[in-house]
Amino acid sequence: MDIDEIFKVPKFSSSSFGNKRKLPDNPSPEMLTKLRAESGQESGQDSLQPPPKRSRNVTMEEVQDEDSNMEDADFAPGGDADYYAEEDDEGRFFGGGLTSEQKDILSIFEAAGGEGVLVEEGEGLSLTSVRRSLLKLERAANKNQDQRSKYPDDPSRFIDSEADLDSAIKSLLPLAQAPTISYPELVRSGSLALLIGLFTHENVDIVLDVVELIHELTDEDAGEDHEDALAEETEEAVKLLIDSLIENSIFELLVDNLGRLNEAEEGDRQGAFHILGIFENILSVNPELAPQLVSKTNILPWLLNRVQAKAHDENRGYAAELLSILLQSSVPNRIAFSKADGVETLLNVLSQYRRRDPVDADETEFMENLFDALCSALSEPHIKKQFLAAEGPDLLILMMKGKLESKSRSIKTLDHAMSGPNGSAVCTAFVEALGLKTLFSAFMGKTKKGKAGTTLPPSEDIGHILGIVSSLFSNLESDSTDRLRLLAKFVENNYEKADKLLDIRDNAVTRLKYTDSVISEEQKDLVDDDDDDILSDKAAIYLRRLDGGLFTLQTVDYILAWIVMEDDGIRSHVLQMLNRKNLSLQDLVSTLKVFYDNMDDAPPAEGEDATPSQKDIVVNLIASLDPSTQQ
């Protein structure tokens, strides 16, 4: 065994030790003495001391005692900055093996996010760094495309360029930190078009990289670290980016790639989540693009199919949220929804919550978004007919009977389905399905049972219940059996439901008085203010008063006017109760006059017979309560 080969002596260049001569194999004592003297002259007083007579003690001379020098040293042995700061469970110190300077360098790289980052120390993003990274992206994309075309059947020949392209795309994520600098350059340079072109890349991982990048760039928090002075410029930069995305058919490409993803894989599932997030980000900036998303892509069928999945996950919940957004304020989207049998689809999915509650908060939000989507769709007359044909009233009445979370949402949905002249058929179906008993049971209930924190406040239920009763009085035919059954509910049990209406009225009046006092105080503060304020707008003030109790007051007085007009017994009882509070029917008239003055002159509903408008009904109610108003 060659001992010298095992214990090799490190090789040093001659420059490491000065111009030293090579010793012969057997140097003479005179030569050693001469060399020792020359070494002391070259190294000065800090040179190593001559070794003692026994050469094996040289090692002990070179090793310093740690305990004796610890107080004088800046760091622990090896300069490890964390040697004494880190210890294991048994109290032993190990440290990280890095000096303070090395740790500072590592911290800079960790904060920057790795190789290819754009953030420059102390300055953040600059136009130069943005252009440098966009150039890197262009070169990486071109090289990858070139190698893929040359060696389409040999992945080993283009795998490196694909890794470079992946790195170049990810290095652009910090662009979202400075939209005012990076977004205009991203659009001007053509790099955005280049990125969108990568949606057709053969490697799905590259596509997912681009999806993640665009999701980050369009996020509502982009550039949030900047001062408010740049808020307007940031908004303009984001709009510029989104306009360019739309010009490059971003909607179509994203929806096409949804079909390429296998959500059984974690990466693909996250990619689908980001795609839905991009849609939400874009629509939050420009809601008017919602019809374009539905008309130019197959996103609506995809969403309807996704919400029908048996297992619940975050993408299923996101699909329901996006569906609600698309139907919220777009008539064309609602029409497309009806053509895709969306009403029946949603009712089938929601039927599961007739017997059980959602398992967690995420599924609760999913259920609420489906109910909200259905409420938005029910604004269209033909969708009310589809709702009726799909036996929607029967399902929601069954949900109202239960004590589950779906109860409150079913009341809200029925309110939307029965409102307006087009809700007459739904109102009739509601009464025939024995919905009055369930409705007034909820109306008279003093508490709501269910899991703590999972149900809506009773006041919201009351508001929608009042809306349903109001629609029933507006839409049920006079002297019909259904209308008589409705009126009888306010007579039974010694007019208890009429008394409940008066109690709700008192609460609404109290809320409204408080709201009016707050508005009055705010207006006083604006007397010396030259700037126009929203409080000076009568329409804005009226909307605020509606939220502050006026809407509930108007609905209650509208119902009271109906029952007072149609039943003498109720009229006598209501007058008696009003007199106890120093009120009269004239107070109801005053409320209805405000209601009338702020009503829109809506045209007759399409496909409906000539029926009295809402304004005509209110005029007649006022006349019945106050004959002096008749002309």
- CA 536 – CA 401 distance, rounded (Å): 46
Cα–Cα separations (whole angstroms), residue 304 to 311, 345, 346, 373: 15, 7, 8, 11
- CA 416 – CA 467 distance, rounded (Å): 9
* Cβ contact 331:380 at 8 Å: yes
Beta carbons within 10 angstroms of residue 479's beta carbon = 8
- Give pTM, 2 decimals: 0.76
Beta bridge partners of 93: 87
The pLDDT value given to residue 563:
96
Q: How many residues does the chain have?
A: 631
For the chain, which residues score pLDDT lower than 50?
1, 3, 6-25, 39, 42-76, 83-94, 108-123, 447-457, 530-531, 534-535, 605, 607, 609, 631
The pLDDT value given to residue 221:
80
Cα–Cα separations (whole angstroms), residue 172 to 109, 471, 508: 16, 55, 54
The pLDDT value given to residue 409:
95
- CA 493 – CA 529 distance, rounded (Å): 56
The pLDDT value given to residue 337:
97
The pLDDT value given to residue 51:
45
Q: What are the two backbone dihedrals, phi and then psi, of residue 124, each rounded to the nearest 5 degrees?
A: 75, -155
- CA 416 – CA 371 distance, rounded (Å): 11
pLDDT in tens, 376-392: 999 999 999 999 999 99
The pLDDT value given to residue 599:
84
Distance of CA 234 to the CA centre of its chain: 20
The pLDDT value given to residue 268:
95
* Cβ contact 368:412 at 8 Å: no
Rounded to 5°, angle at Cα 449 from 448 and 450? 120
Cα–Cα separations (whole angstroms), residue 221 to 231, 234, 241, 586: 11, 11, 15, 53
The pLDDT value given to residue 585:
93
What is the DSSP secondary structure assignment for residue 8, as one 8-state letter?
P
Q: Say what the alpha-carbon torsion angle 432, 438, 443, 444 is, to the nearest 10 degrees.
A: 130
Q: Say what the alpha-carbon torsion angle 491, 496, 501, 505 is, to the nearest 10 degrees.
A: 140
pLDDT in tens, 612-630: 788 889 999 999 888 766 5
